[in-house]
Structure 1
């Protein structure tokens, strides 16, 4: 069964989340101290992390940033802060999703299930695009550029998949949001900009001489290979 690491310093909330996730056939482990997260991840190798923003010892955003250096494990940020800047900052650090307290445990289970399904490519997709050195394979939920596997979060993969279908087409931010999230949540255009920034950085690591995602002023974005 997939293993979910719950990083939450409120014992009652952590226990409730664990109970709901176990009822949905997930294994769980709870960590309440930010200082213990990295060692637990190395030992447990979880399939997904529910990561609270405010933790004793270390801040959740700092942990997320460090995790993204070595791991592409899906991360759902959990926060009581409702300001948009905190949400965006979490996504810029590489989080795949966020939840604002208070929330329904059933919603958490639904988000976990959806992200794991996408991350493991359990759909019926096939290779989405092969053009000028880029391969976007939805069956494996994997993308390669010039033979190099791109270390993408699920949200970044869906963004690249959208931009590559077809390559060269201009996508507005609204259209890209439709591809990124299927639960009709309310987010701002800046959320797309944050994900584009992260994806662009990873593409430039393979082709440092090219700006592969072109910003079209007042319109949106276009992938140029």
Structure 2
């Protein structure tokens, strides 16, 4: 049973979502504002936070920024804001997932379970993966490139590990949204593109000069050993 903290100012939605998530097997604490939510996050140490952005005291994005200064607890942002720039800004601030209202409790439940499966305390006994100079260990949540630690966000690590687990195979964006983001009903392709771009920079490559990450246009992306990566051509453009 996961211990969830729901930070939502709409009392009807807060009550309905709490009831539904409880029926789905979670323990749910709630807060109606950012500052009470921040105090609860620090004092109660929940397994995961579901965070609205339009809060009455402090904007949820600012609250997330403050939270990330003291905790790495997984956060799913659940909001009515669907602006692409806002989504990118919130993910860059440290959110693990982003869900746009309206949504169902079952959709939130699926995303909660997917995020928690990949959190540091639930890595299980999966073996580390080595692909040439790249080393990834799901148990310690560490990744190294040429013996240098990679500073990855939780979602960047999840994405890298999933691609490495399927090395050499093309993985579609829909598959990544389902397996990494826990969005079985679909999601924003831009979320995948943004995280791939961030991951490229940390791997020391670019869309124009890929090494590990190669996009197969119209199909998906695959992770390969650099020596196995054919030169990029005009028919295999990659997201920047």
Matches for 1:55-204 after TM superposition, within 5 Å? 55-119=55-119, 120-121=121-122, 125-129=126-130, 132=133, 134-138=134-138, 140=139, 142-145=141-144, 146=147, 152-153=153-154, 155-162=155-162, 164=164, 175=172, 178-179=175-176, 181-182=178-179, 183=184, 185-188=186-189, 190-196=190-196, 199=199
1:166 deviates by 8.6
* Aligned-partner Cα distance in 2 for 1:6–1:187: 23
Q: Secondary structure at the match of 1:215?
A: coil
Q: How far apart are the structure 1 equivalents of 2:83 and 2:143?
A: 35
Would the alpha carbon gap of residues 184 and 21 (structure 1) be closer, same or farther in structure 2, given more than 3 Å must change? closer
CA contact 1:76–1:96 (8 Å) conserved in 2: yes
CA distance in 1, matches of 2:159, 2:207: 16
CA distance in 1, matches of 2:110, 2:19: 14
- Kindly tell me the number of residue pairs found equivalent between the two proteins: 208
Secondary structure of 2:42's partner?
Answer: helix
Structure 1 pair 151/83, CA: closer, same or farther in 2 (3 Å)? closer
Q: State the partner residue of 1:208.
A: none
Structure 1 residue matching 2:4: 3-state secondary structure: strand
How much is the aligned-residue C-alpha RMSD, in angstroms? 3.3
Any idea what SS the aligned residue of 1:64 has? Answer: helix
Tell me which of 201, 206, 217 is aligned to 1:215.
206
Residues of 1 paired with 2:185 and 2:124: CA distance? 20
Partners of 2:176 and 2:192 within 8 A in 1: no
Which structure has the larger Rg over C-alpha atoms? 2
- 1:159 touches 1:180 (CA, 8 Å); kept in 2? no
Say if 2:91 and 2:97, in contact at 8 Å, map to a contact too. Answer: yes
Q: Which runs of 5+ in 2 are unaligned?
A: 214-222, 227-240
* TM-superposed deviation, 1:30: 0.5
> Does the C-alpha gap of structure 1 residues 21 and 147 become closer, same or farther in structure 2, counting only changes over 3 Å?
farther
Q: Report the alpha carbon displacement of residue 200 of structure 1 after superposing the two structures with TM.
A: 6.7
